[in-house]
Amino acid sequence: MTAEIGLAALWLAAALAVLQMVSGFAGLRAPADAAHPLAIYTRPAAIVQACLAVLAFFMLLRAFAVTDLSLKLVAANSHSMKPFIYKVTGTWGNHEGSMLLWVGVLAASGGLLARFERRLPERTIGATLAVQGFVALGFYAFLLLSSNPFERLPVPAAEGSGLNPLLQDIGLAVHPPTLYAGYVGLSVAFSLAMGALLTREVNPSFARVMRPWVLGAWVLLTLGITAGSYWAYYELGWGGWWFWDPVENASLMPWLAATALMHSVSVLAARDALRTWTIMLGVLAFSMSMLGTFLVRSGVLTSVHAFAVDPERGAFILALLAINIGGAFTVFALRAGAVAEGKRFAAVSRESALVFNNVMLSAILAIVLLGTLYPLLTEAFDVRVSVGPPYFNPAAAMFAIPMLLVMAVGPLLRWREDKPARLQFELALLASVAIAVIALIAVLGDFPLLPLLGLGLAPALALAAVLPLRGRRLARVPVATWGMVIAHFGIAVSLFGMACEGAFTEERLAAVAPGGTEQVGDFAVTLDSVAPVAGPNWTAIEATLSVSEDGGPPVILTPQARTFWSPPQSTSESALLTRWNGQLYAVIGNQTEDGRWQVRLWWKPFVTFIWLGGMLVALGGVLAIAGRVRVDLRRRMAAQKGAERRADLEALGAQPVPAE
């Protein structure tokens, strides 16, 4: 029954999406002062639709939890012997299930918007929800017509074929749901941008409504990317933390757009500038999410993330993309000219620093997009290329470095107009820190240029991040400002980790006989023994390595080469030894003919700072949301009290006092 309830819920939700869309757009046709009779249905439709989509997702979750092998999806992706946690997370470890999660989050964010957002004019909300319904409808159609997750098998399978072993990891529990929630959270920004454009309400109050959604989505994307990077780092056993793989880029591009959007929406909220640009970014950010979905699932690009690839599904998503993004860009082209120009600002001001940051972020986005799509272009002419780090690293750095420099200074500038002379001390301080560190490190050793620049920039950025707090009473600094400080500090921490990893990593690849010792960094690694071990659904060769740091007491590490039997596949389970100043990374390889074992060891100084920085950035985002929401609630309560007082006074027959 579970599957049938889920399927029925999906169809009903799709029907409600139609109602939401029709009634929302109908509201637009009514004259400005009168409500359309249909308009009252928009909000309830969005809320009920959200409940139904979430219900459908929980039904699938249940089918996976109890391993209902009469469902095609469960039989193809699960196995009765799998550990329970991976049965549950396996729900979104496949195409249909992850698409259902996608749609569930899309509907849920629409529902939340409909339930709680009361600040915007009703027409704008109606248009926003209509767009949200329109987008959702497309994805319901995709699910129901071409990737039905609830399809039954004519005869229940005796046993499932199991989940890809790379996905049998706690990383799967965290990484996709956060990332999806982030991707899809951007849909609200997209719908709001469209709604504001359609009803010509591009103004600071619209920006204030949009900001928490953008921040929230951005926090989730940051966390999702950070988690994904760490997962790939320890699970794939290649020792790298970012591979510029198309799928990784697919998650990075919305993040870049969302980062730019978050900053420009702040300018719009605070200063009423950058109106058209904010709308553009709002459209772009969600477009990048959808583009990512298309690239990953259509199989037009080859990636290490082997998703169920199907050109027919690809065509469906491409059609959705064409309708949604093409439609949004068309509305943008027709309407954006009518959006009144925002307030102006001087060349040296916080606004222009933010504009510069936006332009640089967009340039990096363009670099990544170009690099990701370039193979697609050349393959059209039958040339196969693979674009990798030699392109991405320098090309992205070319724009990232100026952006980081401006990020250091921007928060110190005043809104509207400022004089560089006022910041002489700060600028000199930051420049001397960066130059001194670079000079020092360049003298000490011969390192590649990019890590060297990163090492110099990181301390300067860390210092710059806390400079806005200088001369302020810390207890009185707004929470949102703390958020900015911590997020910028996190960028510096992360950059430090990346630069250290790039500059100081030591690698050792050796064939070691049992009893033999290898030296990497300060560690002496001895191969004690190699023995077979077995887990619930795998067998493995496990090496026992005793690691001694500077001759200290040994610590045991056990890297494995695992073989899963359903589906048959082998994975390399790395073993990590974490110290405050870095990680020792060990992988066991094959046995050589003379009985020795290939052992691969890395000492990666400060590599953990990459993800620590990512978490700080996300924490900064959380604080920013908390600060904004608190101010907002206070403002709303004050407004409510004011209104009550006026009502009381009016009831007493006195003259109303002007509002604060």
Partner 1 sequence: MRNRLFLWVPLALFAFFAGLAAFMLTQPKDEFVESTMIGQPLPDFALKPAFGGLPGAAKADLVGGQPRLLNVWASWCLPCIAEAPQLEELRQKGVEIVGIAIRDRPEDVADFLARYGNPYSRVGSDPISEVQLAIGSSGVPETFVIDSKGIIRYQHIGDIRESDVPKLMAELEKAR
CA atoms within 13 A on the CB side of 118: 5
Select from 26-34, 89-97, 142-150, 372-380 the region that touches partner 1 (CB under 8 A): 372-380
Q: Does 379 bind partner 1 (CB under 8 A)?
A: yes
**Within 486-505, which residues bind partner 1 (CB under 8 A)?**
none
Judged by CB under 8 A, which of 155, 158, 380, 421 binds partner 1?
380
| Burial grade of 32 (CB within 10 A; 0-12, 13-18, 19 or more) | exposed
Count of residues that interact with partner 1, criterion CB under 8 A: 31
Query: From the CB of 306, what's the least distance to partner 1, in Å?
Result: 11
Query: From the CB of 28, what's the least distance to partner 1, in Å?
Result: 21
Helix (H, G, I), strand (E, B) or coil at 260: helix
Query: From the CB of 128, what's the least distance to partner 1, in Å?
Result: 20
Nearest alpha-carbon partner for 132 in 160, 113, 147: 113
Query: From the CB of 560, what's the least distance to partner 1, in Å?
Result: 18
- Write the interaction track for partner 1 spanning residues 568-587; mark x where CB under 8 A is met and - where it is not: x-------------------
Cβ closest to partner 1, residue 240 vs residue 314: 314
Query: From the CB of 302, what's the least distance to partner 1, in Å?
Result: 8
Name 601's bridge partners: 508, 586
Judged by CB under 8 A, which of 108, 113, 325, 575 binds partner 1?
325
Q: Does 377 bind partner 1 (CB under 8 A)?
A: yes
Give the strand pairing for 560-565 and 538-549: antiparallel
Cβ closest to partner 1, residue 590 vs residue 655: 590
Q: Does 231 bind partner 1 (CB under 8 A)?
A: no
CA distance 20 to 113: 13
CA distance 402 to 405: 5
Cβ closest to partner 1, residue 36 vs residue 297: 297
**Within 528-547, which residues bind partner 1 (CB under 8 A)?**
none
Name 604's bridge partners: 583
Q: Does 376 bind partner 1 (CB under 8 A)?
A: yes
Query: From the CB of 187, what's the least distance to partner 1, in Å?
Result: 17
Query: From the CB of 20, what's the least distance to partner 1, in Å?
Result: 26
Which of 597-612 are b and which e, b meaning 16 or more Cβ less than 10 Å from the residue's Cβ? Answer: bebbbbbbbbbbbbbb
CA distance 125 to 132: 10
CA distance 47 to 52: 9
Q: Directed axis angle between helix 275-298 and helix 246-271, to 10°?
A: 160
Cβ closest to partner 1, residue 316 vs residue 602: 316
Cβ closest to partner 1, residue 180 vs residue 294: 294
Tokens 């998703």 identify what position? 307
**Within 579-638, which residues bind partner 1 (CB under 8 A)?**
590, 593
DSSP 399-449: HHHHHHHHHHHGGGSPSS---GGGGHHHHHHHHHHHHHHHHHHHHH----H
- Write the interaction track for partner 1 spanning residues 24-63; mark x where CB under 8 A is met and - where it is not: ----------------------------------------
Cβ closest to partner 1, residue 64 vs residue 142: 142
DSSP annotation of 152 reads B
454: left (phi over 0), alpha (psi -120 to 50) or beta: alpha
Cα dihedral 420, 425, 429, 430, rounded to 10, equals -20
Please, are residues 354 and 277 in contact by the beta-carbon 8 Å criterion?
no
Query: From the CB of 329, what's the least distance to partner 1, in Å?
Result: 4
Query: From the CB of 309, what's the least distance to partner 1, in Å?
Result: 8
Cβ closest to partner 1, residue 196 vs residue 458: 196
- Write the interaction track for partner 1 spanning residues 283-322; mark x where CB under 8 A is met and - where it is not: xx--x------x---xxx-x--------x--xx--x--xx
CA distance 660 to 17: 41
CA distance 604 to 581: 9
Q: Does 197 bind partner 1 (CB under 8 A)?
A: no
Query: From the CB of 563, what's the least distance to partner 1, in Å?
Result: 10
- Sequence-separated (6 or more) residues with CB below 8 Å from residue 511: 592, 596, 597, 598, 599
Judged by CB under 8 A, which of 336, 359, 438, 576 binds partner 1?
336
Q: Order of strands, edge to edge, in the sheet holding 575-579?
A: 506-512, 597-605, 582-591, 575-579
Query: From the CB of 376, what's the least distance to partner 1, in Å?
Result: 6
CA distance 601 to 577: 11
Judged by CB under 8 A, which of 238, 329, 391, 447 binds partner 1?
329
Helix (H, G, I), strand (E, B) or coil at 386: coil
Query: From the CB of 569, what's the least distance to partner 1, in Å?
Result: 11
Beta-carbon neighbour count of residue 461 at 10 Å? 25
Judged by CB under 8 A, which of 33, 34, 84, 337 binds partner 1?
337
Query: From the CB of 510, what's the least distance to partner 1, in Å?
Result: 16
Query: From the CB of 380, what's the least distance to partner 1, in Å?
Result: 6
- List residues binding partner 1 (CB under 8 A): 280, 283-284, 287, 294, 298-300, 302, 311, 314-315, 318, 321-322, 325-326, 329-330, 332-333, 336-337, 373, 376-377, 379-380, 568, 590, 593
